[in-house]
Amino acid sequence: MLKSVIVGLDDTKAAQQAQAFAISLAKRHGAKLTGACVVDVPFLTAPEAQPLGAGYYKALKDSAQLERAQADSANILAAFCEKCRQTGVPQTTTTYHGDPYAELLKAAAGSDIIVIGRDTSFHDGDEAEQTVGDSVARLVKDNPRPLIVTPPEPPVGDTVLLAYDGSLPSLRAEQLFVLLGLASGKTVQVISIHEEKAAALALAEEARAFLQLHGVKAEVQGIVSDADPADILLAEMTSLNAGLMAMGAYGRRGWREKILGSCTKTLLRKSPAPLFLHH
C-alpha cells in the first residue's frame, strides 16, 4: 500500500509532469505528499579559475547565486502548493541545501517512492528534451526506493505496461509495483521479449501468474525478436498509448544487463510515458 510520495520540484517541463503525476498518485492512494526543492550548493559555489585577489568577488557572486536559487525554490514551492490546493491534495514541502542526489537519497528513507522529471537538474540550465539529469541517473542506479521518472509531455493513455524478463531486478520491480497498489484497478499488459516464442510466452505467463495472485488483471505478449529491447518497448508504449511502464533492469545480453545499461538509458531518454524503475 502506497503511503508516502516525494516529488522533486524544478521548473523544467518534465519536472512539471512529475508534479502532476505525483499529485494524482497521492490523491488516488490517499498518500502523504512531499514536494522537495534542492538548492544545489556544490554546483553554485564550485571553485573556478580566478585572478589573484578575486576571492572577495567570488564570495559575493556565490552569495548572490545562492540567494537567487533560494528565491527560485520558494516560488516553485508556492506554485506546487497552489496546484495541490486546487486539486484538494494535502502536502508538505521542504528545501534541501547540498548535492541533489545525496539530499534526495536521505529524503527517500521516509518515503515509499520518488517521482522526478527526467531532466530535473535543480539549477538553471536550458536542458534538451531528451536530457537525463545527473541526479536522476544516479538515483536510478543507486537508490533503495522505486523511482517514477516522467517525460516532458503528459501520457496520452492509461494502459500500464510491465516489461518482464525474469531477472532479479524484474522480479523485484513487479513485486513492489503490485504491493504498493500501483496496479490496483488497472489492466496490465505484460511484455516479454526472447529469441524463442515459447520462452517469451513462458516469461510473460510467469509474470501474469503473480499479478493474478494479487487480483490484478493482466494480458500478455511474448515477442520474438533479437532486436534492441528498448526499440521494441518504445514501439509498444506508443502503439498501446501507455500511461506508465514498470520495469527492472532489462538488458540485451541475456536480458539481464545491469541498471543504466544501454536499454535503460535509451528508455530514460526517449520514453513517452512515465517509467517505474526498481532494482
Mean pLDDT of the chain: 88
CA distance 216 to 210: 9
Place of cell 520495469: 247
Q: CA of 217: how far to CAs of 123, 270, 276, in Å? A: 42, 28, 18
* Residue range 235-267, pLDDT digits in tens: 999 999 999 999 985 444 444 444 456 788 899
pLDDT at 84 over 90: yes
| Domains held by the chain: number | 2
Instruction: Give pLDDT, residue 256.
Output: 45
pLDDT: is 39 or 123 the higher one? 39
Same domain flag for 184 and 142: no
Instruction: Give pLDDT, residue 24.
Output: 96
The stretch 101-122 carries a mean pLDDT of 93
Where do the DSSP E strands lie in the chain? 4-8, 32-39, 92-97, 113-117, 147-150, 159-163, 187-194, 217-224, 242-247, 275-277
Helix (H) or strand (E) holding 174, with range, is helix 168-179
The stretch 77-90 carries a mean pLDDT of 96
The stretch 55-63 carries a mean pLDDT of 79
Coil vs helix vs strand at 214: coil
pLDDT at 20 over 60: yes
Place of cell 524463442: 196
Instruction: Give pLDDT, residue 98.
Output: 94
Same domain flag for 81 and 180: no
CATH number at residue 52: 3.40.50.620
Same domain flag for 144 and 127: yes
CATH number at residue 201: 3.40.50.12370
Q: What is the DSSP string of 44-68?
A: HT------TT-HHHHHHHHHHHHHH
Maximum separation of any 2 CA atoms in the chain, in Å: 72
Same domain flag for 215 and 125: no
Residue 119 Cα to chain centre, angstroms: 10
Same domain flag for 114 and 232: no
Annotate 111-143 with b (16+ C-beta within 10 A) or e (fewer). bbbbbbbbbbbbbeeebeeebbbebbbbbbeeb
Instruction: Give pLDDT, residue 185.
Output: 86
Lowest mean per-residue pLDDT among 40-49, 121-130, 208-217: 121-130
pLDDT at 220 over 70: yes
CA distance 114 to 172: 16
* Residue range 122-172, pLDDT digits in tens: 876 555 555 888 899 889 888 889 999 999 999 888 899 999 988 888 899
Domain carrying residue 272: 159-277
Q: pLDDT confidence of 62, banded at 50, 70, 90?
A: confident
Same domain flag for 146 and 32: yes
Same domain flag for 220 and 105: no
Same domain flag for 139 and 183: no
Q: Which of 150, 174, 200 is the last residue in one of the domains?
A: 150
pLDDT at 67 over 70: yes
Q: Which of 115, 150, 185 is the last residue in one of the domains?
A: 150
- Looking at residue 92, the DSSP 8-state letter turns out to be E
Same domain flag for 34 and 144: yes
Q: pLDDT confidence of 50, banded at 50, 70, 90?
A: low
